[in-house]
Amino acid sequence: MAGSSSRGAALLRALRGAGSRPRRGDGTRHLSSCGILATLQPPKRPPAAPAWGLQPPARTFLNLAAPRLGGKRMEYGEARVLGYSMEQMYNVVANVESYQHFVPWCKSSKILSCRKGLTRAELEVGFAPLVERYVSEISLTPQHQIRAVCNDSRIFSHLETLWRFSPGLPGQPDTCTLDFYVSFEFKSILHSHLANLFFDEVVKQMVTAFERWAEKTYGPQTDVHPQKCLQAARCM
């Protein structure tokens, strides 16, 4: 599990670096934020090879590609500069019980136990024709990082989510950089045929859903002009 987490951190660092290579005309749109998107396809390696070996991205991190089917681990990473503070976005992600109100396809979310730095939550996600209920172990580093690992799942052999919060535009504490990384793998080939649906309807919509909930919670965000985002990315 530590290897998977370090891979997520490596992808997030790569995303931050991709900000200095903007590409126009890719059709990507984000509310009033600007962002960097990336998708990594499953590695073309024999089954005996480590599942977390990175495959070099094709062309540019700004391209989105649909994941392949076949029961292999899939990964997705995204970085956005948002007009909310680190504390505000951390609080939105850490409030697991609110997920049922806005996270794509989340039917219910409740806290099972909570102690300093570690929370156990039960989530129910429904995407036809399945409804999946699982327990997520969530480790929290206040205002900096939230990591969730799925346990006791019937259809997922692996599901890990990593959120990181860092300063946004220079001199603007009411902005932050939000890094999102997720990796998942279905247990069977039968379930893996849901990969494209899960990828398109849940994974790719995740950051936008949290951004919209932040707006509902805190009001309109500080204007984050794309040019300012690019200038900040070049300084990172």
- At 47 the pLDDT is 40
Rounded CA-CA distance 36/41 in Å is 17
On average, the pLDDT of the chain sits at 74
Q: State the average pLDDT over residues 99-121.
A: 94
Residue 38 lies in a domain: no
- Which residue bears the tokens 């998977």? 4
Check pLDDT > 60 for residue 129: yes
- Rg over CA atoms, the chain: 17
Q: For the domain that residue 88 is a member of, what is the CATH number?
A: 3.30.530.20
The predicted-structure confidence for 45-75, as pLDDT tens digits, reads as follows 434 433 333 333 322 222 233 344 445 888 9
Residue 59 lies in a domain: no
Instruction: Check residue 23 and report its DSSP letter.
Output: -
Where in the sequence is the domain holding 148, given as residue range(s)? 2-12+73-235
Residue 113 lies in a domain: yes
Residue 8 lies in a domain: yes
Rounded CA-CA distance 206/218 in Å is 18
Instruction: Check residue 194 and report its DSSP letter.
Output: T
Residue 24 lies in a domain: no
Residue 42 lies in a domain: no
Rounded CA-CA distance 199/74 in Å is 9
From 177, 184, 211, 232, select the one nearest 12 (Cα to Cα).
177
Residue 54 lies in a domain: no
Rounded CA-CA distance 18/23 in Å is 10
For the chain, how many structural domains are there in total?
A: 1
Most confident of 12-16, 73-77, 130-134, 142-146: 142-146
Residue 39 lies in a domain: no
> Both tokens of residue 174?
């009411």
> Both tokens of residue 46?
């024999």
